[in-house]
Structure 1
Amino acid sequence: MFYQILLQIFQKLNNERTVSAAYHILRGKRSGQTIQDVGLFQLHNYFGLLPKLPRATFDEAVSTFLQYSWLIMQESGHYSMKKLGLQRAAQTPTFLFDGWHYRGNEHVFFARLSLVVQSLSYQKEGIRSFSPISKDTQVQSWVRAFLQDQLYQSGHLQQQLLDECLRVFATLAVSESNKQLALYRLSGYSLPGWTWQQLSSERKETVLDSQLAFIELLHTLLNEVHATNNYPLLGKIAEEVRVKALLTDSTQQTAYLYEQGYSIEQIVQIRKLKQSTIEDHLVEIAMNEPNFSIGPYVSYEEAEKVWQASKQYQTKKLKALHEVVNDLSYFQLRLVLAKGEV
């Protein structure tokens, strides 16, 4: 699965970026360039999928792609996909990730769920003291409060939670083998969860591929839980897991000033930042805020010219587009690309 995901990302960034751009997207780097790449190349699903991905693991995959003749590398770090690589990318399945809205927080949800299940399992056996599956003190405090709020000692919570889990799993467009990942990762009284090594061995795949299948399952489950009010307990366990503030912290400050009517020049003075930084922020806002208008900076006709040039020359490279539409600044070009086709 990791190779398939990389092929899809490389295909979208083909001839436009270095291989490192894909690495930063998977890690969820909160830089202006990476955030803009996510919007420009529609890579939201993969953003922040693997916040702890080692560079060595990524580089090893790139080396494999080179050996398979899927990629050609340039000295600058840019790359081009060869015909075989493009064919392989076209054969990859559609995944159900939603990295943009979770960014690793799906693991917080499962840590809570795991500890709730473990606690209820031991409570059913009349055992009050046990070694918690999660060592995270925040998770432990959250679960303790949740159990007390739900009057867990009455014995009804176990059945209610089981019913919700069965119902939500029945709706998910995920293979049965992937659904079982959640089951095997759970622990209970005298029943420890499986390690990733055990699971990957059973599934005959790498540990990373098993973990990615698990992440896809959690994203799908969480989106279903958030989409309806049919799962009150799971919805409670999933609270504050979905990312709502999609802008970086600094961009949010610029957005607030912009909404107050301040110009770019005034925001530069107020925030004591470079104009290029404030322009980066506006590009990020254009990408994420549907109601943000680029009209004050670019006319409809100018935006149309940019997209025509992008299609004609099959590129989103700013330098190449600037040579064609040279009456627009790089900032204006970036705004148009970030906002999307007119």
Structure 2
Amino acid sequence: MGVCFGTPDFPTPSFTGKPKSGAKWKITTSSSSAASNSHDLLTARDKRAFGDGKIVADPSLTVFSFAELKEATKNFPADALLGEGGFGRVYKGMLHGKQQSGSKETIIAVKILKPAGAQGYRQWRREIAFIGAISHPNLAKLLGFCQDDENLALVYEFMPMGSLGNQIFRRGSTASLPWDVRLKIMVGAARGLVFLHNSCNMIHRDFKTANILLDGSYMAKLSDFGLVRSGPPEDKSHVSTQFVGTSGYAAPEYRATGRLSVKSDVYSFGIVLLEILTGVRACDPRHPSGMATLVEWAMPHLYSKKNLRTIMDSRLGGEYHAESALRIAQLASICLERERKQRPSMSKVVEELESIEAASANRILRNA
């Protein structure tokens, strides 16, 4: 999730009293939420991009006791560990009895806050205030949370295919995401960012492959909202803040000066596009000389099919559409413009990716 400094700039939830385990607890914020006031920002064009996204005021989340989460995960064993980040560890668990989904058994992901982490506590509160108030097919769904003495946790829907990062960077396997699945993930992740930017007026600030989760059908769902930041006022082009997040994905102006805008997420999206195309991490000191920074290594190869072919993920085995890959590479190069005003909006990015996906599907149908 990255290291965060300073005080949170997103409204934090106000908790009153301590409800019984399993009860519904309405989350309210100390100031009016940007999400709850954004219905009028949805244009007809935006609604097409957002799909079934909606903003829900005062959502009801399930409050879990720590004992319930221990039971659901069978006491947090090593074989239930799904991952670990700056916030803490994430475990797989199973809830028994009728849940919000209506099913009698629900597989969950339990994110446990590291003890004695003041900044993590603020991010925990921010996630509840933000993701607990909205719903979209391309955002991970928060089911509930735990505030039991010093034990803090978030309970999310379980994503069976893990993170995009795990899928494209895993070692010791020749298995790889096929081209059509990669396209689907690109489109879904882009739609999630469009919803954050245009409907919620929020900047993710830590968009990367590790924070793109995949459900059983490889639908992309954005996660880790502890660093979200409200966008600049209408008369401002950016907000100034201290840099947080992951440096390998961060826009140059944000990393150098703290100037943050929605175009910062666009830059991060360009990095992710390159990772999906090449199977190479954004920044990895273990790479040979000249490959430590993905952008510098890949950029000269993004403008012709012949050059692009030399850096495409070898695990694809050449099974991809060269024209589609070139369009995506060129889109990535525009997203990675050093001058943020030259980068496209995420709405434009979605339009281009949907066009590429449709053209790719037509080729498959013609060849069937």
TM range (shorter): under 0.3
Q: TM-score, normalised by structure 1?
A: 0.24
Q: Which has the larger radius of gyration?
A: 1
Bigger share in strand = 2
